[in-house]
Amino acid sequence: MFFTGLALGTASSPFMRAVGQDAPDNSTYQQLSLFGDILATVKQDYVIDPPADKLIYNAANGMMAGLDPHSSYMNAKQYADMQVQTSGQFGGLGLEVTEVDGLLKVISPIDDTPGAKAGIRPGDIIVEINGHATDGLSLDDAVNKMRGAPGTKITLTLKRNGITTPVHVTMTREIIKIQDVKYKLFQTSAGPVGYIRLASFDENADPHIRNAITKLRAQSGKPLHGYILDLRDNPGGLLDQAVAVADDFLTQGEIVSTKGRHATDDQVWYAQGTDVTNNAPVVILTNAGTASAAEIVTAALQQNRRALVLGTKTFGKGSVQTILPIDNEGALRLTTALYFTPSGKSIQGFGVTPDVKVSDTATPDDQFAALREDDLINAFANPTGQQNIPLPPAKPLPAVAAQIPAVPPANWPKFDATKPSTDFQLQMGLKLIAGMSAPQ
Q: What is the pLDDT of residue 97?
A: 86
Cα–Cα distance for residue pair 2/154, rounded to 1 Å: 15
Residue type, 58: N
The whole-number average pLDDT for the span 186-204 is 94
Q: What is the pLDDT of residue 381?
A: 86
Residues constituting the chain: 440
Q: What is the pLDDT of residue 22?
A: 57
Question: Closest Cα to residue 79, out of 329, 250, 285?
Answer: 329
- pLDDT class of 156 with cuts at 50, 70, 90: very high
Cα–Cα distance for residue pair 22/221, rounded to 1 Å: 59
Q: What is the pLDDT of residue 5?
A: 38
User: How many of the other CB atoms lie within 10 Å of CB of 207?
Assistant: 12
The whole-number average pLDDT for the span 274-296 is 94
| Phi, psi dihedral angles at 295 (to 5 degrees) | -75, -30
Is the distance from CB of 364 to CB of 161 less than 8 angstroms? no
Distance of CA 83 to the CA centre of its chain: 17
Q: What is the pLDDT of residue 3?
A: 37
pLDDT tens digits for range 69-79: 899 898 888 78
Q: What is the pLDDT of residue 8?
A: 56
What angle, rounded to 10 degrees, do the helices at 52-65 and 26-45 form?
140
When mean pLDDT is compared over 175-179, 362-366, 368-372, the highest value belongs to 175-179
Q: What is the pLDDT of residue 364?
A: 47
Which segments of 178-277 are extended strands (E)? Answer: 181-188, 191-198, 226-230, 254-260, 267-270
Q: What is the pLDDT of residue 180?
A: 82
Torsion of CA 242, 290, 296, 83, to 10 degrees: -40
Is the distance from CB of 343 to CB of 86 less than 8 angstroms? no
What angle, rounded to 10 degrees, do the helices at 205-220 and 239-247 form?
30
Q: What is the pLDDT of residue 10?
A: 39
pLDDT tens digits for range 24-59: 567 888 888 999 999 999 999 999 999 998 899 899
Please state which of the ranges 73-77, 86-90, 350-354 shows the lowest mean pLDDT.
86-90
The whole-number average pLDDT for the span 111-119 is 88
Residue type, 356: V
Share of residues in the chain with pLDDT > 90 (%): 55
Is the distance from CB of 158 to CB of 127 less than 8 angstroms? yes
Radius of gyration of the chain (CA): 22
Question: Closest Cα to residue 333, out of 72, 6, 15?
Answer: 72
Q: What is the pLDDT of residue 362?
A: 55
List Cα–Cα distances, 402 to 254, 305, 392, 398, in angstroms: 30, 19, 21, 8
Distance of CA 203 to the CA centre of its chain: 15
Which segments of 31-162 are extended strands (E)? Answer: 72-74, 89-92, 95-100, 103-109, 125-129, 132-133, 153-159
User: How many of the other CB atoms lie within 10 Å of CB of 406?
Assistant: 11
Q: What is the pLDDT of residue 80?
A: 79
CA atoms within 13 A on the CB side of 408: 17
Q: What is the pLDDT of residue 99?
A: 82
Share of residues in the chain with pLDDT > 70 (%): 87
The whole-number average pLDDT for the span 258-267 is 89
Q: What is the pLDDT of residue 142?
A: 87
pLDDT tens digits for range 211-228: 999 999 999 999 999 999
Cα–Cα distance for residue pair 258/341, rounded to 1 Å: 9
Q: Which sign does the torsion angle of CA 126, 127, 132, 138 carry?
A: positive
- pLDDT class of 396 with cuts at 50, 70, 90: confident
What angle, rounded to 10 degrees, do the helices at 239-247 and 293-303 form?
30
